[in-house]
């Protein structure tokens, strides 16, 4: 309900500010308007009522927590909570504004100026209760106020002209002053928006994993579409009117207003979604958005989102530019407005797919936080039972991570990752790959390939990682093995009758991958092939 009230509150503020701003503009610089003071009084009253929904919401919560009646809870909220004091301030300013509107019967310049001033004061008052103001009481409050005022002036004038203009007289004169005003407003709201985003969403790319981040992305993409329509209404149509005075420009202004309503609605729903100040900690409490997982698979608190442009990125950019060019041509050639709307929607969808396909996820490494002096101690961990640990080989996974191939009591064959630190080694969570079943001491060979699509083994920037390792007793004297994946052939040295290899790809390889055994002379002396790859962390 709060989201719906906000979705109505934002256009109401915009219409009020835009309409009152236009009362200060001489008639020769704008189309003929049909906006009376009665409309403004109704809008101010609706602002008071719509902003009351948040007070009711908090009061309901307080009544539940403290077992109070709704009336007692309302009194407590109005007298003790910031949201209550903000609403009382709105009521006070609105009362004065309504009085000014009613008694300004002669439509005097000073009366109109005072009305606009009081309307801006309303925005400043409501900004006091914004999320950014709660994070940074001074700068956040100022930035939100500037942002809200800039949006209301730019959008409000657009709404009023699009809905309430009786004709299209003086359109070139209107565009002559409105276009630079709109440009200035867009520049100011963009700068203030970046400042607000820095405090609310410091991890923009990572926030795409969450509902709030997805809403924010759609909002920004809608903004780009609106900029295209603003270019059409401010530049293209001005030139078209010089060539064809019979051209009717108001319909394209209404189309721009339609997309602006979309962005205001998205913003309203964002107010009811938790802003992710820290994405990792947020993902520990809430589920990632399903649409992100549809694109990139399962994610966790250790997942990082990075941009990684590809061929599809370039193709979608071409599609977006072509759609933009076509929309401009539609306006110039006076095509039906439905085609212009479809063009805007196409740009929005293509832009969304561009962003979602131009990013990739990297699964971070999480350790147990316990520092062990040696690799042997790290592998044994806190297990105090005496076991026969034998390490076949150790190698570097990357700069700070080592892999260890080992066995305990010559039973299971295990590969594990350890994090190197200044003081020793830490065990990496969920990094053990285990070949169980018949003990290795009783087997001619134990060889498996693990197909990894997430977790600490997955190589950054890749979709699939293949971890192949094994222990070979028969045939004896093997010097190296050759692993023939679908995407590459790898020769791997054998140490202590064991071998280990990591390969990665962006496409999934065929599970059939022969492994050939070679002696010191390079002669093939045997081989092994398994018809599938392991998808879990344990296999027989």
Instruction: Give the DSSP letter of residue 266.
Output: H
**Residue 489 CB contacts under 8 Å (≥ 6 apart), including other chains:** 482, 483
pLDDT at 386: 60
Average pLDDT over residues 467-486: 94
Determine contact, residues 375/425, Cβ cutoff 8 Å.
Answer: yes
pLDDT at 68: 84
Cα–Cα distance, 529 to 7 (Å, whole number): 61
Chain segment 517-528, per-residue pLDDT in tens: 999 999 999 999
Chain segment 496-508, per-residue pLDDT in tens: 999 999 999 989 9
Which pLDDT band holds residue 271 (cuts at 50, 70, 90)? confident
Bridge-based pairing state of the strands 538-539 and 433-435: parallel
**Residue 17 CB contacts under 8 Å (≥ 6 apart), including other chains:** 116, 119, 120, 123, 149, 152, 153, 156
Q: SS3 helix, strand, coil % of the chain, rounded to 5?
A: 55, 20, 30
Give the tokens for residue 249. 């420009």
* Helix or strand holding residue 384 (H, E): none
Give the tokens for residue 421. 């630190």
215: pLDDT strictly greater than 60: yes
Average pLDDT over residues 205-214: 92
Determine contact, residues 283/22, Cβ cutoff 8 Å.
Answer: no
**Residue 459 CB contacts under 8 Å (≥ 6 apart), including other chains:** 465, 502, 504
pTM, two decimals, is 0.72
pLDDT at 424: 92
Cα–Cα distance, 232 to 252 (Å, whole number): 8
Cα–Cα distance, 459 to 503 (Å, whole number): 9
pLDDT at 353: 96
Share of the chain above pLDDT 70, in %: 98
Average pLDDT over residues 40-59: 91
Average pLDDT over residues 229-258: 87
Radius of gyration of the chain (CA): 32
Share of the chain above pLDDT 90, in %: 52
Which pLDDT band holds residue 383 (cuts at 50, 70, 90)? low
Exposed/middle/buried for 432, CB within 10 Å: 0-12, 13-18, 19+? middle
Determine contact, residues 403/397, Cβ cutoff 8 Å.
Answer: yes
292: pLDDT strictly greater than 60: yes
297: pLDDT strictly greater than 90: no
Determine contact, residues 485/466, Cβ cutoff 8 Å.
Answer: yes
Which has the higher per-residue pLDDT, 167 or 515?
515
Determine contact, residues 179/253, Cβ cutoff 8 Å.
Answer: no
Average pLDDT over residues 300-306: 79
Average pLDDT over residues 429-436: 91
Per mean pLDDT, which range of 44-53, 363-372, 478-487, 516-525 is the poorest? 363-372
Chain segment 73-130, per-residue pLDDT in tens: 999 999 888 889 999 999 999 999 999 999 887 778 888 899 999 999 999 999 888 7
| Strand, helix or coil for residue 501 | strand
Distances (CA, A) of 214 to 220, 221, 264, 431: 10, 11, 15, 31
Determine contact, residues 209/288, Cβ cutoff 8 Å.
Answer: yes
pLDDT at 384: 46
Mean pLDDT, rounded, of the chain: 89
Q: Which of 260, 259, 228, 261 is nearest to 331 (CA)?
A: 228
């Amino acid at each position: 309900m709060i989201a719906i009230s906000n979705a109505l509150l934002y256009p109401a503020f915009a219409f009020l500010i835009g309409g009152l701003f236009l009362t200060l503009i001489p008639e020769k610089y704008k189309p003929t308007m049909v906006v009376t003071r009665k409309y403004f009084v109704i809008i101010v009253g609706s602002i008071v009522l719509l902003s009351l929904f948040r007070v009711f919401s908090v009061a309901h919560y307080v009544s539940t927590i403290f077992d109070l009646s709704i009336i007692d809870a309302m009194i407590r909220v109005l007298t003790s909570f910031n949201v209550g004091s903000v609403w009382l301030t709105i009521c006070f300013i609105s009362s004065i504004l309504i009085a000014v509107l009613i008694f300004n019967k002669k439509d005097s310049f000073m009366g109109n100026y005072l009305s606009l001033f009081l309307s801006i004061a309303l925005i400043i008052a409501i900004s006091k209760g914004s999320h950014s103001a709660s994070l940074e009481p001074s700068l956040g409050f100022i930035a939100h106020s500037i942002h809200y005022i800039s949006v209301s002036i730019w959008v409000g004038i657009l709404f009023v002209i699009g809905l309430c203009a009786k004709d299209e007289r003086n359109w070139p004169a209107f565009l002559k002053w409105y276009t630079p005003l709109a440009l200035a407003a867009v520049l100011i709201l963009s700068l203030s928006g970046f400042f607000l985003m820095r405090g609310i969403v410091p991890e923009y790319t990572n926030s795409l994993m969450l509902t709030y981040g997805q809403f924010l992305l759609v909002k920004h993409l809608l903004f780009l579409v609106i900029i295209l329509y603003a270019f059409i209404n401010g530049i293209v149509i001005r030139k078209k009117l010089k060539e064809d005075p019979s051209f009717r420009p108001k319909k394209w202004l209404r189309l721009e207003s339609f997309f602006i309503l979309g962005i205001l609605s998205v913003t309203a729903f964002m107010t009811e979604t938790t802003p992710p100040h820290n994405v990792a900690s947020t993902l520990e409490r809430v589920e990632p958005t399903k649409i992100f997982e549809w694109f990139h698979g399962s994610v966790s608190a250790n997942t990082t989102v990075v941009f990684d442009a590809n061929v599809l990125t370039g193709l979608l950019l071409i599609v977006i530019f072509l759609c933009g060019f076509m929309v401009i041509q539609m306006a110039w050639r006076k095509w039906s407005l439905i085609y212009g709307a479809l063009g805007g929607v196409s740009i929005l969808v293509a832009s969304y797919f561009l962003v979602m396909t131009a990013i990739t996820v990297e699964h971070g490494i999480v350790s147990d936080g316990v520092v062990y002096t040696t690799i042997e101690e790290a592998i044994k961990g806190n297990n105090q039972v005496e076991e026969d640990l034998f390490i076949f080989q150790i190698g570097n996974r990357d700069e700070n991570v080592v892999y260890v191939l080992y066995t305990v009591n010559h039973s299971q064959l295990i590969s594990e990752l350890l994090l190197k630190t200044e003081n020793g080694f830490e065990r990496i969570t969920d990094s053990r790959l285990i070949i169980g079943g018949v003990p290795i001491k009783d087997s001619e060979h134990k060889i498996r390939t693990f197909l990894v699509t997430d977790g600490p083994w997955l190589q950054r920037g890749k979709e699939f990682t293949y971890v192949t390792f094994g222990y070979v007793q028969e045939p004896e004297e093997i010097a190296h093995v050759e692993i023939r994946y679908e995407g590459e052939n790898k020769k791997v040295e054998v140490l202590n009758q064991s071998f280990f290899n990591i390969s990665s790809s962006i496409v999934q390889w065929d599970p059939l991958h022969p492994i050939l055994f070679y002696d010191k002379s390079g002669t093939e002396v045997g081989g092994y092939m398994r018809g599938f790859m392991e998808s879990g962390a344990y296999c027989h």
